[in-house]
Amino acid sequence: MENFKMIAKTFFGFEEILAKELQQLGAQKVVQGTRMVSFLGDKGFMYKANLALRTALKILKPLKTFKAFNEKSLYEGVKSIDWSDYLNENQTFMIETTLHSELFNHSQFVALKAKDAVVDQFRESVGKRPSIDKEFPDLRIHVHIDRDLCTVSIDTSGASLHHRGYKTATNIAPINEVLAAGMLLLSGWDGNSHFMDPMCGSGTILAEAAMIACNIPANINRKEFAFERWKDWDSELFDTILESLLKKTKEFHYTITGYDKAPSAVHKAKDNLKNANLDDYVTISQANFFETKKETDGPLHMVFNPPYGERLDIDMERFYREIGDTLKQGYPNTNAWFITSNLEALKFVGLRPSRKIKLFNGKLEARLVKYEMYEGSKKAKFN
């Protein structure tokens, strides 16, 4: 099988860890961009990347790049691709667009022109045309225009890869699964200590932490990938790839604990972890973090997503001060990481973060911060 170029899309701030994930999986010519990483691999690797990558949102397979100065050159460029290789007249397709261009700034218009090009090619060659289906298309075509450069790709993933397939229940403000996995990898979580999420909500961070600890492929529970509807879909190859990934799972010898003070959240988190077949690894209980103390020996790795002011009516100043106090008083020998878009509130934690990483949670600019809680006082440690 020959290698071809692919593009893995991700969130801002995750490019480096996604590139590292790709290299570890065996990708070739891995190159970081902005919110994306390009690489080379064959069809089997395309299946593997969709199954295993934790920080990719989508994997695109570029078909052609050309200059587009106006609607005519856009239309001709899309039409110059032989669409019968990927689609037949009885199937369905849809067009998604990403535009960074003054020449083309209306996504609906670009999608329409691209659709016309595909449809006209079929009409002219077989007298019939495939139809549009925005919900469950057989082929998703992606048109990316950067200034006057147009790249037409097909989407190998389908719905965003953060749809892992284990979530049936979510809380008011669930964290995106790819964001959770990226935070965990940035925090250095590798499954070699106890783990805790003291404000676990519907359990996303716990599920992703358990999958990392056991090296379980991120999208093992997913129902479908776009490539399963392609003409060249090879189910035997897919099963072989899946089996080889499952052989690399490993045992985990520590604890993963989640707290939430809302009974409804605890219930949802337990359901989601059970769906993911991870309930053996994770213990979730109803507790207010501010009334807890560390219950495990040795180092503790903590990652959490505290509630944001935008969605919950809480006294931010007091809330963040209590986070700092609880960590200081109850959690020695702990590396505590959390994400917040309330950059003001960080002042009230009363501890100096040893790291601050800029990320985005949805449209909100956020910081992933790390607080190192030492055994005994810090002074004693360095004398």
Question: 105-122, pLDDT tens digit by residue?
Answer: 889 999 999 999 999 999
- For residue 331, give the DSSP letter: -
| pLDDT, average across residues 343-349 | 91
pLDDT over 70 percentage in the chain: 95
For 286-312, write each residue's pLDDT tens digit: 999 999 999 999 999 999 999 765 555
| pLDDT, average across residues 266-286 | 95
For 154-189, write each residue's pLDDT tens digit: 999 998 999 998 887 555 567 899 999 999 999 999
The answer to whether the CB of 333 falls within 8 A of the CB of 374 is yes
Confidence class for position 313, pLDDT limits 50, 70, 90: low
- For residue 350, give the DSSP letter: -
Superfamily of domain 177-217+226-382: Vaccinia Virus protein VP39 (3.40.50.150)
* Rg of the Cα atoms in the chain: 23
Q: Does residue 382 carry a pLDDT above 50?
A: no
Report which residue type is found at 1: M
For 129-150, write each residue's pLDDT tens digit: 999 999 889 999 999 999 999 9
Residue for token pair 């070699």:
192
The answer to whether the CB of 158 falls within 8 A of the CB of 93 is no
Report which residue type is found at 266: V
Structure tokens at 164: 């892992």
Residue for token pair 């919900």:
135
Specify which residues 195 forms β-bridges with: 256, 301
pLDDT for position 312: 56
CA distance 67 to 23: 31
73-101 exposure pattern, b = at least 16 Cβ within 10 A, e = fewer: ebbebbbebebeebbebebbbbbbbbbeb
pLDDT for position 173: 60
Average pLDDT over the chain, rounded to whole?
93
Confidence class for position 215, pLDDT limits 50, 70, 90: very high
pLDDT for position 193: 97
Diameter of the chain measured on Cα atoms: 83
For 40-72, write each residue's pLDDT tens digit: 999 999 999 999 999 999 999 999 999 999 999
pLDDT for position 380: 40
Q: Which residues contact 222 (CB under 8 A, 6 or more apart)?
A: 161, 163, 164, 165
209-246 exposure pattern, b = at least 16 Cβ within 10 A, e = fewer: bbbbbebbbbbbbbeebbbbbbeeebeeebeebbeebe
The residues of the chain that CATH labels 3.40.50.150 are 177-217+226-382
Confidence class for position 19, pLDDT limits 50, 70, 90: very high
Q: In whole angstroms, how far apart are CA 90 and each of 122, 132, 234?
A: 10, 11, 20
Q: Does residue 383 carry a pLDDT above 60?
A: no
Residue for token pair 């008011």:
172
The fold adopted by the segment(s) 4-155 is: VC0802-like (3.30.2130)
Q: Does residue 225 carry a pLDDT above 50?
A: yes
The answer to whether the CB of 265 falls within 8 A of the CB of 201 is yes
